[in-house]
Structure 1
Amino acid sequence: MPHAFAPVDPHLLPPVDALGTAFIEMLLAKHGLSRFISLDRSRLRESHEAWVWAVVTGDGGDDVTALFRGLGPYPREAVLTWDNTD
């Protein structure tokens, strides 16, 4: 079963800089997603206030990663998005 996330107040999200990157990575880890989703640090300058480039490393064959089944080959580029504060 895919993860369901509680809404995060977008005003609590820092900009996509070193602090913002650490915050996003903390959220991914907290919800068990960091083992197959990571931020693409080489593209952080291309990321923006409400989205960031990421990498999906694959389908682990379990219920958590079933969402990514059939989307290979891996790794794949991805974009993580959240509500814009504007």
Structure 2
Amino acid sequence: MTPGAERIRIIRRHGGQVEATGPLDTLAADLLRRAGFLTFPTLSGPWIRLPFDLGAEWENERSSWAADMLTAARYPLTLDPTLRTGPQ
């Protein structure tokens, strides 16, 4: 990881939605999609999030899975601690 590199962030927003933000290239977007994230075009760029209302446990599992895949692919990543399942 390059010191000072911008990180991909998977976070739960105040409204409860789980989003991925940061520098997302094609591989990162594909890994997020594999974990269940959806991509929607917006005027300010793609909005990448998990589907709404599938439950916190499902969101946490999918977020942790996405984080594990992105970490294995050597992306700098920050995962909201409330989304982590399993060992830290």
The structure with the largest alpha-carbon Rg is: 1
Whose RCO is larger (CA < 8 A, sep 6+)?
Answer: 2
Normalising by structure 1, report the TM-score. 0.29
Normalising by structure 2, report the TM-score. 0.29
